Amino acid sequence: MTALLEIKNLHVKVEGEDKEILRGFNLTVNPGEVHAIMGPNGSGKSTLSYVLAGKDDYEITEGEVLYKGEDLLEMEPDERAAAGLFLAFQYPVEIPGVAFMTFLKTALNAQRKTRGEGELSTPDFMRLVKEKSTALNISQDMLKRPVNVGFSGGEKKRSEILQMALLQPELCVMDETDSGLDIDALRVVSDGVNALRDAERAMVVITHYQRLLNHIVPDVVHVMAAGRIVKTGGKELALELEQSGYAAFTEAA
């Protein structure tokens, strides 16, 4: 079986700066697996998610990232998305003037087109959005607004999961999806994520706290510190961390 995602000895720094943020990061994710990456602030978690999605501003100095066996780093951000990689942003940007529905439809059809699939008709698209949004408790009013504009923190996160549900990616990278969510919203979001779990789809859940992992139960838990993975274990590792804190790992790194 080919791994879905293989990160080998990845070294990354911010463009124009000297400090390395990822310092020999390794990770292999197979289809159907849910990996949690936990770590303290500043350990490089968000950098990892941006590098996977292809944001500029970072310089890869060493290492490689293979996605379905192909060089991910050579692909444009939209090509990665079309290839099935989805990033749920920690801070989804507001895009004034671009209607949410227009955005969703453009994104979905662009991906379908790149994959050689036909465009979805407007009625089919509307039906699909209605179905997915109801499950996530997303109101029609939210759908009428411009992308993320005026959304509360919780609404922004639900909007991310709605996009994930619509686009049906193969690899979901979720960056601090639990931040800013109250307990009810956390449940709605987690249910949305769990509904997407299947034997083919893999997930990388990046989080600072263990509480999200009560809802989205991972197969593997990694502890990240100072730009690399310092410990890997089962779901019980998260509980252990909750008890002992990150200090021990930070020192080890």
Partner 1 sequence: MSVEVRVVQTAAEEAVPGQFEAVAGTLPGSPEIQAERRAALARFQSEGLPHRRVEEWKYTDLRRVLGAMPPPVQPTGAPIGPETLAELDAWKIVIVDGAITCWPEALADEGVSVTRLTDALAGADGAGLLEGWQAEARSSILDLNTAFMATGVVIAVPDGVHLAKPIHVATVTTVPEAAAVTLRHAVRVGANASATVIESYEGPDDVSYLVNTTNKVAVGRDSTLTWVKIQRDGTAATHLSTATIDVDQGARLTCAPITIGAALSRNQFAIAFDGEHADVNVTGVQMLGGRQHGDTTLFVDHALPNGASRELFKSVLDGRARGVFQGKIVVRQDAQKVDGRMMAQSLMLSDQAEADSKPELEIYADDVQCGHGSTSGRIDEDLLFYLRARGIPEVTAKALLIEAFIGEAVEAIGNEAIAEALSSLAHDWVVQHAGGGASNGGADA
Task: List residues near partner 1 by CB under 8 A.
Answer: 53-56, 76-78, 80-82, 86-87, 89, 92-93, 95-98, 102-103, 106-108, 110-111, 114, 146, 163, 167
- State the minimum distance, in angstroms, from the CB of residue 202 to partner 1: 17
Cβ proximity to partner 1, 92 vs 227, nearer residue: 92
Q: How many CA atoms lie within 13 A of 191 on its CB side?
A: 12
Cα 160 from Cα 152, distance rounded (Å): 12
Alpha-carbon gap, residue 138 to 155, rounded angstroms: 8
Q: Report in angstroms how near the CB of residue 82 gets to partner 1 at its nearest.
A: 5
Name the DSSP letter for residue 94: P
DSSP state of 86: E
Minimum CB–partner distance for residue 167 and partner 1 (Å): 7
CA distance 145 to 143: 6
Instruction: Choose between 105 and 228: whose C-beta lies nearer to partner 1.
Output: 105
- Cβ at position 253, least distance to partner 1 in Å: 29
Report how far residue 52's alpha carbon sits from residue 22's, in angstroms, rounded to the nearest whole number. 12
Nearer to partner 1, 116 or 251 (CB): 116
Q: Which is nearer to partner 1, 147 or 230 (CB)?
A: 147
58, 15 in Cβ contact below 8 A? Answer: yes
Q: How far is the CB of 179 from partner 1 (least distance, A)?
A: 17
Q: Which of 23, 132 has the CB closer to partner 1?
A: 132
| 3-state secondary structure labels for all residues of 194-226 | HHCCCCCCEEEEEECCCHHHHHCCCCEEEEEEC
Smallest distance from partner 1 to CB 143, Å: 16
Bridge partners, 85 (sequence order):
171
Residues 6+ apart with CB under 8 A from 152: none
- The burial of 35, by beta-carbon neighbours within 10 Å (0-12 exposed, 13-18 middle, 19 or more buried), is given as buried
Nearer to partner 1, 96 or 245 (CB): 96
Tell me how far, at minimum, the Cβ of 115 lies from partner 1, in Å: 9
Looking at the DSSP bridge assignments, the partners of residue 43 are none
Rank residues 108 and 186 by Cβ distance to partner 1 and give the closer one: 108
